[in-house]
Homo-oligomer: A and B are copies of this chain.
Amino acid sequence: MIDVCLLGTGGMMPLPYRALTALALRYNGRTILVDCGEGTQISMRQQGISFNPIDVVCFTHYHADHISGLPGLLLSMGNSDRTEPLTIIGPRDVERVVNSLRIIAPGLPFKINFIELKEDVEVLDILGLTLTAYRVNHSILCYGYSVSLKRAGKFDPVRAKELNIPVQYWRELQHGNEVVYEGETFTSDMVMGGERKGLKVTYCTDTRPVPIIEEIAKDSDLFICEGMYGDMDKAADARDKKHMMMQEACEIARKADVAEMWLTHYSPSMNKPQEYLEELRKLFPRVVVAKDRFVKELKFEES
């Protein structure tokens, strides 16, 4: 199970009623935070998400609205007695940028490890999840992130009994290990079905539409995507500033055939993003015009 909380839905600057876009993903008691603008820690507190279990912070890019909350978060993590190292992942210069901001957060009781993204697509194993960073197309170097959780095939107890494997060995086989019993070797594939559908959540902001987004987001259970403007009069603005229209996000979601899409990163000029919902549903029926602190529990399908 992955717990998703979209901590904010604003772009550019924090507003009293709209926090800056950031995402908390919780799995197995640990948390991955994607982006951390000014006020992200306030939204986390509002949602009751504690700072201590944050093991990984990923940055899409280094515009202030995506990273200015980092020094304060680091201090709050320090104040919550964290001593385990923290991993910070981001585009080129992640260490230099974070250290420059740390002029106001110098002494921390935990170490920071940096992972600098170098390739257009990088796949990392993080906290038992597969984290894919993929380069998008913004005014500065920017990445999207996708997190997926694999699910092994289903164990077949009838087959295990037919093979005369004692019950106490079943667990080993379920975990993919070999078992030797009375001189005979049993392998996992003898009793496990093919890999089942896992879970996938994909995050994408700030960018123009580019093919890699659709490719990475393909079949996601949840796709969280920038929708900077809904008014088509702003389409030229979106192009110039390398942002995405709500309508463009819907087109990507449709092609990627995601189960659900949440729009986010609204322009401060857009007071009521909800007003475009009806129009957007014609483009992609499973679109949600998200609000701050929308949550979703992603669970494996019954099978």
A34-46 toward B: CB 8 Å interface, digit per residue (1/0)?
0001110110011
Contacts of A62 in B (CB 8 A): 103-104
B71 in contact with A64 (CB, 8 Å): yes
A13 at interface, CB cutoff 8 A:
yes
Q: Which of A72-80, A187-195, A219-227 touches B?
A: A72-80
A15 at interface, CB cutoff 8 A:
yes
A53 at interface, CB cutoff 8 A:
no
A79 in contact with B45 (CB, 8 Å): no
A67 at interface, CB cutoff 8 A:
yes
A97 at interface, CB cutoff 8 A:
yes
A273 at interface, CB cutoff 8 A:
no
B76 in contact with A72 (CB, 8 Å): no
A123 at interface, CB cutoff 8 A:
no
Q: How far is the CA of A144 from the CA of B258 in the complex (A)?
A: 55
Q: How far is the CA of A46 from the CA of B100 in the complex (A)?
A: 30
A105 at interface, CB cutoff 8 A:
yes
A63 at interface, CB cutoff 8 A:
yes
A49 at interface, CB cutoff 8 A:
no
Partner of A100, one of B13, B68, B69, B100: B100
A141 at interface, CB cutoff 8 A:
no
B100 in contact with A103 (CB, 8 Å): yes
B101 in contact with A104 (CB, 8 Å): yes
Q: Which of A95-128 contact B (CB under 8 A)?
A: 96-97, 100-101, 103-105
A sample of 5 inter-chain contacts (CB < 8 A) reads A13-B75, A38-B42, A38-B72, A64-B105, A100-B103
- Contacts A38-B39, A67-B104 known; 13 new A-B pairs at CB < 8 A: A13-B76, A13-B79, A14-B72, A15-B45, A16-B45, A38-B38, A38-B42, A38-B69, A39-B42, A64-B71, A64-B72, A64-B75, A64-B104
Binding site for B on A (CB under 8 A): 12-16, 37-39, 41-42, 45-46, 62-65, 67-69, 71-72, 75-76, 79, 96-97, 100-101, 103-105
